[in-house]
Structure 1
């Protein structure tokens, strides 16, 4: 019941979005660190591919990549504007995913109560 495709996909999405939030926070914290390279977290394509091919989404793990964006003179490539927008986007996606999970559990609670 808790391992259906949609529940599994939602759990993977929460994990991936949480990892992305941590990477964004780390990027912002190091915006002035010489030589620091921003990190990007990807998981959506792998999650979509697993679901589309009938595979378990639980096998999808977020991957962390070093950004290949151009660097400033100090060797740092964190773009504060990009990180801020990514933070807002990721937060909204995270909240939406949590609401979807809550909705699934609300339906289950109602079914158990027999309402």
Structure 2
């Protein structure tokens, strides 16, 4: 019996890994706010959560042919992209500190929500081990 191999644990783990990658990218952006020609990085990892859920065998059921199909994009890891089309500073840098701080706060809230959910799963296991006491 694998207690930690369930789809919910895998999805939570994948979400935490993605939040860590996003945290690193945001931290790099903030650290390089004054670096000439530095381009801000963005991280997309929601496709990893979709993959974790899909591996568990959860399928969406379309009730009408005009409804959207539920498909996931297969990728081996988070996608880190740079926006080279914009420029906020005179030195070629496109880091917007206000936006980065907002993204940092959103990522922290997301991370805390995942940790709270993971703690709840562990508390449930602890309750079972203790016999419901």
TM range (shorter): 0.7 to 0.9
- Equivalent residue in structure 1 for 2:120, among 96, 99, 103: 103
Contact 1:47 1:60 in 2 (8 A): no
How many pairs align?
Answer: 111
Any runs of at least 4 consecutive aligned residues in structure 1 with deviations exceeding 4 A, and if so which? none
Larger Rg: 2
Taking only aligned residues, the RMSD between alpha carbons, in angstroms, comes to 1.7
Contact 2:43 2:78 in 1 (8 A): yes
Determine if the alignment matches structure 1 residue 14 to structure 2 residue 16: yes
Shift in Å at residue 84 of structure 1?
0.7
Contact 1:12 1:61 in 2 (8 A): no
In the alignment, what sits opposite 2:72?
A: none
Contact 2:14 2:48 in 1 (8 A): no
Between stretches 62-71 and 75-84, larger displacement belongs to 62-71
In the alignment, what sits opposite 1:66?
A: 82
Q: TM-score, normalised by structure 1?
A: 0.87
Structure 1 portions without partners, runs of 5+: none
Structure 2 portions without partners, runs of 5+: 57-74
In the alignment, what sits opposite 1:30?
A: 32
Structure with greater helix share of residues: 1
